[in-house]
Amino acid sequence: MHSLLPVVVSLLFLCYGAYVLHSRGVSRISLTFFLLCSTTFCWQFTWAILFQMEDEHAALSLAKLGYLMILFLPTTLYHFIAELTVQRGEGRWVALSYGAAGLLGVLLLTSDWLVAGLYRYFFGFYPKAGLLHPLHLLQTVLVVGRGLWLLYRRQRMAVSTERTRLRYCLVSLLIYFFASVDYLCNYGMQFYPPGVLFVATSLGLIAQAMVRYNLLADPLEVAATIAHEMRTPLATIRNQSRILSRCLPDLLTGYQLAVQQQLISPTLSAVQLQYLQQINQYIETEISRSNFIVDMMLASARAGTLNRSDFANHSIKKCVDEALASYPFESAMREKVKVRGSEDFTFFGSDVLLVYVLYNLFKNALHAIKAAGRGEVEIRLRGRQLMVTDTGMGIPDDVLPHVFEPFYSTGGTGMGLAFCRKVITAFGGNIQCQSKAGRYTCFLISLPAD
């Protein structure tokens, strides 16, 4: 009877992990989630069998096998959080944690230092903590604490639905962590380990977050899909606008003649007539701006799967000229952008992607000077470096270290600068940001020789 709950929960985790992997496709985040579910399954299913055993020697062997999974459980949880929050820089720490768990696993299987025997409780056998068991507890606190901190920080930075999804996940993983109360049983406290209830509750919250908020979906891919679907209505609006541009002049001419002949009373002012004469231009401008945003989103999504076989040598100056010629500047903003320095050089990469990098930098710089109500944007080529500097509002000191982090945002999607870093890194270069709040911001791109 005491084994029923662990069996049910373990099978739920295994089935749900397999379902997510099948329905969401194989990706870094779905694989780590499946790994977490599989480890949880092994833990709970092994305990369900252990509680039914009578032979102490066989029970000890099984307990050590089950505890081997428990040693890796904190790291799989940390790994899942690192992928969920897109913290690629955590990779070396995740690998180090897996390595530490592996060493503890060797000690577990070859000695009594981690599991020093069994307790016989009313519900069945349970592992007894060895002398080095506190090392596992220390690792658990460190890696899970780090993971939860990453998740907490990410949800504070996130916007809109992304923040709601991450909050769901934060709460569910906090509840999952409460299952560590079971460790008390390793130290001789006799009570039925309630961790299985916390684990089941956590799975329920994760499942709800997936159903309601598409938890494991890549927000950038979702945004790119929406952006792609915008193409059709934008094309329809553009076609209708062009029809309007052919018909409207005749209608306005007829209206003005009718007013002159006093056939009708004037109902439109001179300002309204002038606006109607230019309305097609306004519509075209907004459509171009919308298509520009669509292109940016699609380029950002494609950056995750860069095909380096398509890279070639390109002129940096030609990319700058093309970006300036095609960027949808608002009225009078183009004059605020100055190009200084004419040193040209070639780089190995994609000219299209570099133009989109420049679009992102232009957008940020123009927003900064617009918000400050002053300043200009300077583009400078020097050596093998490209600098984009604005004398706008600058970036606060507490925000500056996070500007290249995915989904970190103070107003946009939080993917623009992350996209820039991904592209420049793929070219073998690097991008840096220097800023002084209230004074300036400078983005410096350095690219290697061909």
366-409 pLDDT tens trace? 988 988 888 999 999 988 899 999 999 898 888 888 788 765 55
Query: For 4-217, which CATH class?
Result: mainly alpha
Q: Give yes or no for residue 2 having a pLDDT over 90.
A: no
Res 445: pLDDT = 93
Question: What average pLDDT does the chain have?
Answer: 83
Res 300: pLDDT = 55
Q: How confident is the model at residue 108 (pLDDT cuts 50, 70, 90)?
A: very high
Q: Give yes or no for residue 440 having a pLDDT over 80.
A: yes
Mean pLDDT comparison of 80-94, 206-220, 403-417, highest-scoring range: 80-94
Q: Which residue has the higher pLDDT, 46 or 290?
A: 46
Q: What is the CA radius of gyration of the chain?
A: 30
Q: Give yes or no for residue 319 having a pLDDT over 80.
A: yes
Residue 380: what are its φ and ψ, rounded to 5°? -130, 135
Q: Which residue has the higher pLDDT, 170 or 203?
A: 170
What's the burial of 222, exposed, middle or buried (CB within 10 Å: 0-12/13-18/19+)?
middle
Residue 278 identity (one-letter amino acid): Q
Angle subtended by helix axes 351-372 and 270-302, to nearest 10: 130
Residue 329 identity (one-letter amino acid): F
Q: How confident is the model at residue 224 (pLDDT cuts 50, 70, 90)?
A: low
Helix (H), strand (E) at residue 343: none
Res 3: pLDDT = 83
Please tell me the number of Cα atoms within 13 Å of 324 on its side-chain side.
Answer: 17
Please say whether the beta carbons of 286 and 223 come within 8 A. Answer: no
Q: Give yes or no for residue 81 having a pLDDT over 80.
A: yes
Res 251: pLDDT = 86
124-166 pLDDT tens trace? 999 999 999 999 999 999 998 998 888 888 777 665 566 777 7
Res 235: pLDDT = 78
92-106 pLDDT tens trace? 999 999 999 999 999
Give the 3-state secondary structure of residue 72: helix
Res 421: pLDDT = 86
What's the burial of 121, exposed, middle or buried (CB within 10 Å: 0-12/13-18/19+)?
middle
Please say whether the beta carbons of 78 and 147 come within 8 A. Answer: yes
Mean pLDDT confidence for 330-337: 84
Q: How confident is the model at residue 444 (pLDDT cuts 50, 70, 90)?
A: very high
Rounded to two decimals, what is the model's pTM? 0.60
Number of Cβ within a 10 Å radius of residue 288: 13
| Percent of the chain whose pLDDT exceeds 90 | 27
Q: Which residue has the higher pLDDT, 301 or 346?
A: 346
Res 410: pLDDT = 54
Residue 84 identity (one-letter amino acid): L
CATH number for the domain running over 308-446: 3.30.565.10
Lowest-confidence range among 17-21, 232-236, 250-254? 232-236
| Domain boundaries along the sequence of the chain | 4-217, 226-305, 308-446
Two domains, one topology: 4-217 and 308-446: no
Q: What gap in Å lies between CA 241 and CA 351, rounded to an integer? A: 32
Contacts of 100 (CB under 8 A, 6+ apart): 75, 139
Instruction: Name residue 378's beta-bridge partners.
Output: 338, 389
Res 61: pLDDT = 92
Q: What gap in Å lies between CA 350 and CA 362, rounded to an integer? A: 18
